[in-house]
Amino acid sequence: MFTGLSAFPLTPLKDDSVDEAAFTGLVQRLADSGVDSITALGSTGSYAYLTAAERARVAQLAVEHAGGVPVFVGVGALRTSHVLANVRSAEAAGAAGVLLAPISYQPLTDDDVLGLFQAVTAGTDLPVIVYDNPGTTHFSFSTELYARIAELPGIASIKIPGVPRDAAEARNRVAGIRAVLPEHVTIGVSGDATAADGLAAGCDVWYSVIAGTLPAPALRILRAARADSANTADEADQADRAHQTDRAAAAAAESARLAPLWQLFAEFGSLRVTAAIAEQLGLAPHASLPLPLRGLDSNGRTRVARVLEELRLA
Amino acid sequence: MFTGLSAFPLTPLKDDSVDEAAFTGLVQRLADSGVDSITALGSTGSYAYLTAAERARVAQLAVEHAGGVPVFVGVGALRTSHVLANVRSAEAAGAAGVLLAPISYQPLTDDDVLGLFQAVTAGTDLPVIVYDNPGTTHFSFSTELYARIAELPGIASIKIPGVPRDAAEARNRVAGIRAVLPEHVTIGVSGDATAADGLAAGCDVWYSVIAGTLPAPALRILRAARADSANTADEADQADRAHQTDRAAAAAAESARLAPLWQLFAEFGSLRVTAAIAEQLGLAPHASLPLPLRGLDSNGRTRVARVLEELRLA
């Protein structure tokens, strides 16, 4: 279940309340798109800005409108007891798993973070995705800490930040993590711009911002990377290294087509750009981000509209 | 009102609830100590980890037990509407001002932060302290942004991070900020280990972690720095530069006496050390920090106890 493409929908706000119609519209689009899973209330879903009650409601709406596609729910919060309350509401909603980032205000130690994952895995039977996103959490996992956490019962997957651009370095990085994990724990790449590289380097799953709003181009990248997905990467490696290289090149080519989009992500951050795309396509109301986050200004929006047109995504 | 020593009490928890008796005990100690103000729900008061209801209650208790000493209340939150709700509860409690840090999950732009301060100053008549604490907020103010925010009506003070260790650099830094602020906006130093340097460099107020739990040694530093406090720093400067240098040296000497404490702060963070001190002195229950933050381990606690004894603070 923790493989393939996991799409992260926005949680659009309207007048500082969750726009339930817009949110369920995004989820239904994903349910129809062929993505492998939907992760509600990821960073893209603005989980950190929402109240516990809003989060419980969004989790419930996500599962109700996902048409049977597995839904993972972000449960991160600054205080362990609040995380556990979010886990309760994810369970009640019928989530297939939870995503947990060690968000911080005071800097966290490795022991703090291990204790958090111990508390959560002890408190639920739902599989847990470890969410390593230092750009927002300001906590950096060591490979050793991955290993300590992955030993806990219930850990299903680790969402790592983007991989190095160099293919050999990327493969080494993923292999180095793989070497310390139990076999059942999958590795997922985030950082959409380097997702093709991550998949080529051996990641099992792409936890994707863009797929939450534009699933089709994300699926093209995934499918190019997995043309031979009946075989495991390992079998393919033994059988046909040339074929594997072809797939990596094809995925890289699909990703390169989206270079103008990745450029906008780098410039404004993926959340602000994705919100502008959803607003442009009528999938979210204007000014759908939680204040103080401002959406792109009119110049930025014009550039987004131009890129959507250029890439025939509008 | 935004001068002198502002003491930041802990908000001790017991079994994941605010320990109201411990908190009011800390506030009463401060009310009796001679500090100029009390800032409840600062970083040291774990505001970021508490619910809106807990924060409203803590604000109320702080004002009730402060014996007329002005109480400032931290109102920061990730979402602007939540900040405004905290401002409402600070007003209802009778706070004399609010402290606002632009805490972040998604990185904030200067315009986001300006918009946040605009919303808050437009929404309250209480004076606002701008809280610049990049170590926890992950947002860095430029001097230019200080200037734009300080122009807003109601901005009373800016709490800057520690100053450079070099005295001339520190003076230049403070003078550079002073040059862009309206005259009524005070500059406050934080980072207890460099507070004596900050006061010598011209800061008007010390926003202090340690004073929240151990006001006496903090007051000794402040009073050494302000031996001639009837005069303004400027008059003193003209009248007797030598005297000013003496005071800086006296404050530095008082601060240097606490070097073993500053060393623990550097090693473990001021919050964990201060919580251990409060626990050691019986001012807070054991394990008083909000999980996932763990207190110091037994080795760390032994070192804290030793330093307290060595400095005759126990």
Contacting residues of A for B108, CB less than 8 Å apart: 292-293
- Nearest CA of chain B to the CA of A88: how many Å? 17
Output the pLDDT for position B230. 43
Output the pLDDT for position A232. 56
Output the pLDDT for position B229. 45
Q: How far apart are CA B246 and CA B244, in angstroms?
A: 5
Output the pLDDT for position A268. 97
Please name the residues in contact with B209: beta carbons below 8 A apart, sequence gap of 6 or more.
Answer: B8, B43, B44, B190, B192, B265, B270, B271, B274
Please name the residues in contact with A222: beta carbons below 8 A apart, sequence gap of 6 or more.
Answer: A4, A5, A199, A206, A251
- Nearest CA of chain A to the CA of B234: how many Å? 37
Are B102 and B76 within 8 A, CB to CB? Answer: yes
Q: How far is CA B74 from the centre of its chain?
A: 10
Could you give the ipTM of this predicted complex? 0.94
Q: Identify the contact set of chain A against chain B, taking CB-CB distances under 8 A.
A: 16, 43, 48-50, 78-81, 102-103, 105-109, 111-113, 115-116, 119, 135-136, 138, 269, 271, 290-294
| Structure-block tokens of residue B103 | 């805490």
- Phi, psi (5° rounding) for residue A77? -160, 165
Q: How far apart are CA B110 and CA A268, in angstroms?
A: 13
Query: Would you call A19 helix, strand, or coil by DSSP?
Result: coil
Return the residue in B274, B293, B294 with the most chain A beta carbons within 10 A, the one to mutate for interface testing.
B293
Q: Identify the contact set of chain B against chain A, taking CB-CB distances under 8 A.
A: 16, 43, 48-50, 78-81, 102-103, 105-109, 111-113, 115-116, 119, 135-136, 138, 269, 271, 290-294
Burial class (CB in 10 A: 0-12, 13-18, 19+), A309: exposed
Q: What is the average pLDDT value for chain B, to the nearest integer?
A: 95
pLDDT (tens digit, 9 = 90+) per residue, A149-175? Answer: 999 999 999 999 989 999 999 999 999
Output the pLDDT for position A229. 45
Output the pLDDT for position B243. 80
Output the pLDDT for position A242. 74
Are A221 and A195 within 8 A, CB to CB? Answer: yes
Which of B47, B131, B146, B207 is an active site residue? Answer: B131
What average pLDDT does range A168-188 have in this prediction? 97
Closest-CA residue to B25 (of B37, B33, B17): B33
| Structure-block tokens of residue B234 | 């400027």
Closest-CA residue to A292 (of B41, B82, B160): B82
pLDDT (tens digit, 9 = 90+) per residue, A227-252? Answer: 754 445 565 556 667 777 889 999 99
pLDDT (tens digit, 9 = 90+) per residue, A124-158? Answer: 999 999 999 999 999 999 999 999 999 999 999 99
Q: Which of B16, B80, B111 sits opposite A81 (nearest CB)?
A: B16
Please name the residues in contact with B287: beta carbons below 8 A apart, sequence gap of 6 or more.
Answer: B279, B295
Output the pLDDT for position B11. 98
**What's the CA angle centered on B226, arms B221 and B228, to 5 degrees?**
145
Find tokens 């006001």 and name the residue: B215
Return the residue in B106, B110, B149, B288 with the most chain A beta carbons within 10 A, the one to mutate for interface testing.
B106
pLDDT (tens digit, 9 = 90+) per residue, A81-91? Answer: 999 999 999 99
Number of H helices and number of E strands within chain A?
Answer: 14, 10
Q: How far apart are CA A39 and CA A18, in angstroms?
A: 17
C-beta atoms of B81 and A111 within 8 A: no
Contacting residues of A for B49, CB less than 8 Å apart: 78-79, 105
Output the pLDDT for position A230. 43
Q: How far is CA A309 from the centre of its chain?
A: 25
For chain A, the first-to-last Cα distance in angstroms comes to 31
Q: Is the peptide bond before B290 cis (omega within 30 degrees of 0)?
A: no
Q: How confident is the model at residue A16 (pLDDT cuts 50, 70, 90)?
A: very high
Q: Are strands B17-18 and B13-14 parallel, antiparallel or unpaired?
A: antiparallel
Told to judge if A14 belongs to the known catalytic residues of this protein, a careful annotator would answer no
Domain covering B4-310, topology: TIM Barrel (3.20.20)
Closest-CA residue to B278 (of B251, B313, B239, B243): B313
- Nearest CA of chain A to the CA of B210: how many Å? 16
What average pLDDT does range A19-42 have in this prediction? 98
Return the residue in A8, A46, A75, A79 with the most chain B beta carbons within 10 A, the one to mutate for interface testing.
A79
More confident residue, A312 or B240: A312
Q: How far apart are CA A44 and CA A8, in angstroms?
A: 6
Write out residues in chain B with pLDDT < 70, as ranges: 228-240
- Alpha helices of chain A — where are they, by DSSP H? 20-31, 52-65, 80-93, 110-123, 134-137, 143-150, 167-178, 195-200, 215-225, 233-239, 241-257, 259-268, 270-280, 298-310
CA distances to A109, B207, B275 from B268, in Å = 10, 20, 11
- Nearest CA of chain B to the CA of A48: how many Å? 7
What average pLDDT does range A67-73 have in this prediction? 98
Q: How far apart are CA B171 and CA B60, in angstroms?
A: 38
- Phi, psi (5° rounding) for residue B32? -85, -5
| Structure-block tokens of residue A23 | 């949110």
Which of A47, A146, A159, A207 is an active site residue? Answer: A159
